[in-house]
A and B are shown apart, each in its own frame.
Chain A
Amino acid sequence: MSMNEEKKIQETKLPAIPLRNSLLYPNLTIPISVGRADSQAAIEAALASEDKLVGIFAQRDATVESPKIEDLYSIGSVGVIRRMHRHENMIHMMVQGVQRIERIDIVQRSPYISLKVRYLPDPDDSGSEIEALQRSMLELGHKVLALSAFEIGLDLDKLISGLRLPIHQAYVLASLLSIDISKHQALLSAQTQHQALELIIEYLNHEVQILELQTKIASTTQSKMDKQQREFLLRQQLRTIQEELGESSPEQADVVELRKKSEEADIPDFVVKEVEKELARLERMSAASPDYQLTRTHLDLVIELPWNKSTQDVYDLDHSRKTLDHDHFDLEDVKERIVEHLAVMKLNPEAKSPIICFVGPPGVGKTSLGQSISRALGRKFERMSLGGLHDEAELRGHRRTYIGAMPGRIIEAIHRVGVNNPLLMLDEVDKLGRDFRGDPAAALMEILDPEQNSEFHDNYLDLPFDLSDVFFIVTANTLDTIPTPLLDRLEVIHLSGYSDEEKKEIAIRYLIDRNVKESGLSLEQLTIPDETLYSIIHKYTRESGVRQLERTIGKLARKIAMRVAQGNQEKVTIKKEDLIDLLGPPKFTMEEARESLPPGVAAGLAWTQVGGVVIYVESALLPEGKELMLTGQLGDIMQESAKAAQSYLWSHADQLQLNKDKISKSGVHIHVPAGATPKDGPSAGVTMVTSLASLYLNSAARLDTAMTGEITLTGLVLPVGGIKEKVLAAHRAGIYRVILPKSNENDLRDLPKHVLDKMKFVFAERVEEVLAQAIPTVQILNKVA
């Protein structure tokens, strides 16, 4: 039987296996590994035959695990098994493609697939067009091999030299491309050479495009690198040329300037080392590098900081006292304590600077007192507000690695002042915030601790700076919100509110002067008599400080300035009656004492942030069966003292000659105006007792008497705080008789003399004494056993 005859066999039976993701081209050998039982059975059948032929068909969908015959393409190849061996349940083999075949019938599906196939003859269409297509195919093939980084010395010409038909060459090229199985299948199924060549040219073209794009991407990256290197080289050359010419580059000019500055500056050794290191770094850097500016600014700061620069303190106690007196009226004890501190500092210059904390209501002159101290001491003054500060980095700086890093406020302030011993005022320390960025109060502890702050570390500066010579003064409105560990480091000085008298003095000495001048008038043109000032203080302001007062005086001065400018008047004296015209109706009236008190009303004294106030506790009887009713935004403690007052009266009814029935049967309503202001604290106890007793006795309390004090159930009167402010409030309201707890007697020393002179004080240890003094008609029997 000759070969040609054999080729004429058109149809035959073959065992067949499916292939996932690949197929077999005629003339090409591929490795195939088979694991599935039916495929292995097919291989067995093929190997048992004398010519070792097996049909190979590609799966349409690679994800199908056990493909049926219908899942396979109908055109495949027949291959000869050249080598095989078994290994761990798998059959590995090399299969060489012989010819394309087409499935025409199914012989069996199991135990292995066997098909009736038809051999597809190689297409033999030819002509010049085929030749042209073949040439461009080979050209593209060479291009692909040249472009791909794939180097096994694959010689395309040698590879295809034995292949007569262009379509066979196309198969070889296709086998070298990793393309979709569907594309491979399309090529294998091509009916004519023409069709096959067009397909392979399309595939190759696509491959060339991708490879070219890859090469382009790679070379773009390369050229970017080249550009940077070129720039660096040019810069190097520029530097050399400039050196030759005796010129220096801008960077070097910077470095030279900084070095000169650092040599001139008085800098401790450990800083010099750091500066030298940084300068050396800077020299090597290009000005365009982002690090350059960063390093430069940092160096600027390091060199400019006053490491060893300080001002000479003036320890002239007389001068200091005079300065303080000149700037502030009164505040006697505060000034006293400041001068004491100065005396200590004079005697022992090595002593740590105290850290003073001024606490008091707004507008009492805490900040200006700080300024005044700095003048008295001859120190430079710098202040910063800590109100609302919630980032630790604000105080301690950001690390230099952050973009836009800055030193903290402390170092910044020292830098600004230019000396290392300024008076640094930290305002509103009670309003420090705190959140996830850290707790600035904790950072403040390090800054304010004389034991620690000699080595203060700012994150940006990154060098320890000595803050121990800095005179820190902090201010706060209240001590309640300052963390205890921080408070512990502070020397607290309380500044309480000013009395009317003091306000008047301050107005005459400072405020009128300043505001008149500001509005462009001369002092002769505007006169404000004392009486008018009192009226302003009472009816147009309500504060413990003098800010509102100053604003109001400023307003008056401007109105008068307008009149003068219009040419209406030359000289003005503002009378009390003119105020309504100039400032409008009085803003506050409540402060004044009531004209009369009905039974059930008593005057109490309360302390608020803005100073003391007079409040009237009112009570009224309710129908039988109602319980105690409390209104006026009273806090828990105040409600409790109301209940204590009622219980006390019930239990002492006989002694006080009260009608027990009245107390037990009728309810009581206690109201404390003004209803919109929240109130709390135990100090209204005596006022409530008085109010209730007056109600039950149906006898009015004394109009000229106000009172304060905490009570107990058994009738003791306990001491309370804020006596100075409370007495001032009574004085201001025109109530000149005040009942106070006996234990508070000593607090009166804080009050100005002119107030004390006018006031009459009654000190009580027991509630009965209070009632006897407050309600004229009360008759107290001796204590009933």
Chain B
Amino acid sequence: MINKELSEIVEQLFGDSSEPILKSNWHPRADIYRYRKGWLIKLELAGVRQDDIEVNVSGTILKIEGKRRDLVAKDASEAYKMEISYNRFERVIELPEKLEDAKIVMDFNQGMLLIHLHCKK
């Protein structure tokens, strides 16, 4: 028989995500703005070191992946509640135009990653 409980949790957690629902990584939330000459993608990546972020482009797909390390945790404390996802994350964003020639500029400000895509046209 189906393991009902588990399936329900799966559904609950990831049910309304547009992302593939089973992946070992967490997905940061993203806002996407369109400009006349390109795109601005804003990602919620608080607590992630800029060194740990990697952005790749292929075709119309922009892929952001990386890792959030918990730097605050200390041995002396006892964890009571934890809601923030750590470790590897991944976000795949498909845009309606080719991005291979675009110029990518990244800006990391107050926990927000801003990716500017300047498309040549």
Contact = CB atoms under 8 A, between A and B. Distances in A.
B23 A51 contact: no
A80 interface: yes
Q: What interface size band does chain B fall in?
A: 35 or more
B20 A178 contact: no
B31 interface: no
Contact of A82 (B22, B75, B85): B85
Contacts of B2: 144-145, 148, 150, 154, 176-178
B94 interface: no
A163 B21 CA distance: 9
B24 A177 contact: no
A150 B73 CA distance: 42
Nearest to B74: A48
Given A50-B71, A52-B70, A162 B52 contact: no
Interface in A425-458: none
Contacts of A96: 24
A30 B7 CA distance: 9
Main secondary structure of the interface of A (DSSP, over half): mixed
Given A30-B6, A48-B75, A84 B20 contact: no
Interface stretch (B8-16, B96-104, B105-113): B8-16
Given A154-B7, A176-B7, A85 B86 contact: no
Contacts, number: 125
Q: What interface size band does chain A fall in?
A: 35 or more
Interface in B1-54: 1-11, 13, 19-24, 26, 51-52, 54
B22 A28 contact: yes
A370 interface: no
A245 interface: no
Interface in A79-120: 80-86, 93-94, 96-99
Interface in A21-57: 26-31, 43-44, 47-53
A50 B71 CA distance: 6
| Highest count of chain B CB atoms <10 Å: which of A44, A48, A150 | A48
Given A44-B78, A50-B70, A152-B8, A162 B20 contact: yes
A162 B13 contact: no
A253 B31 CA distance: 86
A13 to B, nearest CB: 15
Interface in A142-161: 144-145, 148, 150, 152, 154, 158-161
A106 to B, nearest CB: 22
A163 B22 contact: yes
A506 interface: no
B65 A3 contact: yes
A175 interface: yes
B81 interface: yes
A52 B1 contact: no
Contacts of A150: 1-2, 4, 7
B74 A50 contact: no
Interface in A347-374: none
Contacts of B21: 158-159, 161-162
A58 B81 CA distance: 25
B69 A97 contact: no
Given A48-B73, A150-B1, A97 B24 contact: yes
B80 to A, nearest CB: 5
Contact of B20 (A83, A99, A152, A161): A161
A44 B11 CA distance: 28
Nearest to B13: A29
B86 A52 contact: yes
B87 interface: yes
B24 to A, nearest CB: 5
B88 interface: yes
A676 interface: no
Contacts of B6: 28, 30-31, 175-176
| Highest count of chain A CB atoms <10 Å: which of B1, B54, B74 | B1
A597 interface: no
A178 B5 CA distance: 11
Contact of A47 (B4, B5, B69, B73): B73
A781 interface: no
Interface in B60-77: 65-67, 69-71, 73-75, 77
A159 B7 CA distance: 10
Given A152-B8, A162-B19, A94 B86 contact: no
A579 B85 CA distance: 126
A581 to B, nearest CB: 97
A148 B85 CA distance: 34
A508 interface: no
A172 interface: yes
Contacts of B22: 27-28, 159-160, 162-163, 168, 172
Contacts of B52: 1
A51 B67 contact: yes
A152 B5 CA distance: 11
Contacts of B83: 83
Contacts of A26: 24
A51 B86 contact: yes
A340 B78 CA distance: 113
B13 A50 contact: no
Given A1-B52, A163-B22, A84 B81 contact: yes
A203 to B, nearest CB: 12
Contacts of B11: 152, 154
B80 A85 contact: yes
A31 B79 CA distance: 17
B102 to A, nearest CB: 21
B13 to A, nearest CB: 6
A158 B14 CA distance: 11
A2 B65 CA distance: 10
A205 to B, nearest CB: 15
A26 B6 CA distance: 14
A176 B22 CA distance: 14
A51 B13 contact: no
B1 to A, nearest CB: 5
Contacts of B26: 82
Contacts of B51: 1
A200 to B, nearest CB: 14
Given A86-B80, A154-B7, A176-B7, A27 B13 contact: no
Nearest to B5: A31
B85 to A, nearest CB: 5
Given A2-B54, A49-B70, A50-B71, A152 B87 contact: no
Contacts of A207: 1
Nearest to B80: A86
A197 B80 CA distance: 40
A85 to B, nearest CB: 4
The 7 closest A-B pairs by CB, nearest first: A162-B20, A50-B69, A85-B81, A47-B79, A84-B82, A150-B2, A52-B86
17 contacts: A1-B52, A3-B67, A3-B88, A27-B24, A29-B9, A51-B67, A84-B79, A85-B82, A98-B24, A150-B4, A150-B7, A154-B2, A162-B21, A162-B22, A168-B22, A176-B3, A177-B1
Given A27-B22, A98-B88, 8 more contacts: A28-B22, A47-B79, A48-B75, A50-B70, A51-B86, A80-B24, A99-B24, A148-B2
Interface of A: 1-3, 6, 26-31, 43-44, 47-53, 80-86, 93-94, 96-99, 144-145, 148, 150, 152, 154, 158-163, 168, 172, 175-178, 207
Interface of B: 1-11, 13, 19-24, 26, 51-52, 54, 65-67, 69-71, 73-75, 77-83, 85-88
